[in-house]
Amino acid sequence: LDVSSFVKYPVFKAISSLFGYSNLLSPICAIAATIGIYCLTVFFIRSRFPVNLIKEAPKKVLGISMVGGIAAAVLFMVSECVREAVMRSEPCLFAAALAVWTFVLLSTAFTANGFAKTTIVLLTAALAGVGLADNAVFLMLVPLYLFGIYKIYNESGKKPWGIFFAFAVVSLLAFVVFSLVGAGGFGQYLLWHKSVFKGFINFRNKSWFAIFLLTVLPFLFFLFTLRRVFLSKGNVLLVLYMLTMSVFSILAVFTPMSPFGLMKSSGYLPIYTTLFASIVAGGTVTFWFSRVRKEMIEVVNKSFMPIVSSVMLGIFAVLFLFTTIFSIVNFDKSVGAFADFAAE
C-alpha cells in the first residue's frame, strides 16, 4: 500500500490504538455525542428562561428543558448520518463528540467562580486545540467559543479580553504539540488540512449552501432569539416565526433535504450540521410543548396557541416514527460487510 508520510488524524489515531484500530470507537463516540447533545440542549434551553422563574419553578423549567434535550439527542442518534458513521472508523464522529463536550465543559463556567471559571475556560481551550489537530472544523467553531466566553465574563461584569488572549495561546499550543508529535510530515499535514478547510468554505458547492441555509443559519437564529421566543406572548408573528423554524427543522431532519441526503452521493458524512439540525429541532419541539398548556410557563397564551402547538407536536411525532421505520427497513446492510468479512 502507498502509505502517506504524515498522519491526517493524529489524536483520532492515538485513541483508536486503544481499541486495536477497530471501528468500536465509533459507537462509543456516537453515544458520547448523543449524551453531550442532551446536556448542551438542556443547558441552552434552561438558560433562556428568566432567573426568577428558574428559582420559583425549577422543576417546571427543568422538565421543559429536558423535553428539548431528549428530542435533540434522539433525533441525532437515529439519523441516517450517525447510523452510517458508526458502521465505520469515522474521524468526524470523534471530532463531533469532542466538540460537543468542549461546549458542555464551557457551559459549566457560567456557574463557577474565580479560579475555577478560568481553569474551565483554559481546559476548554486545550481540548479545542487538540481537536483542531485532528479537524479543521474546530477553527470554524472559534466564534462560538469566543461568544460563550464573552457571555460568561460579561454576566460577572468583567472584560473578557485577557481570557480571549489566554484561550488563543493555550489552544494554539495544544494544536502545535499534538500535531507535531503525532502528524509526522508536518508540512504535508498542514497542506492537507488547508485543503479540507477550503472544502468547508467552498461557496461554489450548492449542497453546502443548502445545508448552511437549513441547519447553520437556523441554529444561529435560535442562539440569539430563543430567550425572546420563550418569553413572548402568543401573537401571530411569534407563531409565524416558529412555524418557519419548524419547516426548516422538518426539511433538515426528516426529508432528502437533510445534510446527509444532500451529501450522500459525495460519500462525505455531514456529522456537524446534522448535530446543529438536531439541536434546532429539539428547541422547536420544546417551544410547541411549552405552549400546549397555558400554565406551562408564565406568559399570556392566545387561545389558538395550544391547538397549533398540539398539531405541530403531532406532525413531528408522525414524521419521526415514519422516517425511523422507513430508514430501518431500507438500511443498507452491505455497509460494513468488508469489516465483517475481515473479522471472520
83, burial (CB in 10 Å: exposed 0-12, middle 13-18, buried 19+): middle
Return the closest-CA partner of residue 88 out of 27, 134, 31.
27
The per-residue pLDDT for 299 is: 47
- Please give the backbone phi and psi of residue 6, each rounded to the nearest 5 degrees, phi first: -135, 160
Asked if 120 and 164 count as a contact pair (C-beta separation under 8 A), the reply is no
Answer whether residue 300 shows pLDDT above 50. Answer: no
The per-residue pLDDT for 72 is: 95
> 54: pLDDT confidence band, cut at 50, 70 and 90?
confident
Residues near 279 by Cβ (< 8 Å), separated by ≥ 6?
Answer: 37, 40, 41, 44, 72, 219, 222
Within 10 A of 106 (CB to CB), how many other CB atoms are there? 24
Asked if 178 and 10 count as a contact pair (C-beta separation under 8 A), the reply is yes
3 state SS of 176: helix
The per-residue pLDDT for 236 is: 76
Answer whether residue 220 shows pLDDT above 80. Answer: yes
Distance CA 245, CA 68 (A): 15
Which cell is 14 given? 492515538
Q: What is the mean pLDDT of residues 212-235?
A: 79
Answer whether residue 228 shows pLDDT above 80. Answer: no
Over residues 313-343, the pLDDT tens digits come to 999 999 888 887 776 666 555 555 444 444 4
Asked if 266 and 207 count as a contact pair (C-beta separation under 8 A), the reply is yes
Q: Please state at what angle helix 271-290 crosses helix 236-254, rounded to 10 degrees.
A: 140
Over residues 17-40, the pLDDT tens digits come to 888 777 788 899 999 999 999 999
Asked if 87 and 26 count as a contact pair (C-beta separation under 8 A), the reply is yes
Among 56-70, 197-211, 218-232, 330-344, the minimum mean pLDDT is found in 330-344
- Please give the backbone phi and psi of residue 184, each rounded to the nearest 5 degrees, phi first: 85, -110
The per-residue pLDDT for 121 is: 95
Complete DSSP assignment for 227-239? HHHHHS---HHHH
The per-residue pLDDT for 266 is: 73
3 state SS of 6: strand
Q: What is the mean pLDDT of residues 186-210?
A: 69
Over residues 84-112, the pLDDT tens digits come to 888 888 888 999 999 999 999 999 999 88
> 42: pLDDT confidence band, cut at 50, 70 and 90?
very high
The per-residue pLDDT for 277 is: 94
Answer whether residue 163 shows pLDDT above 90. Answer: yes
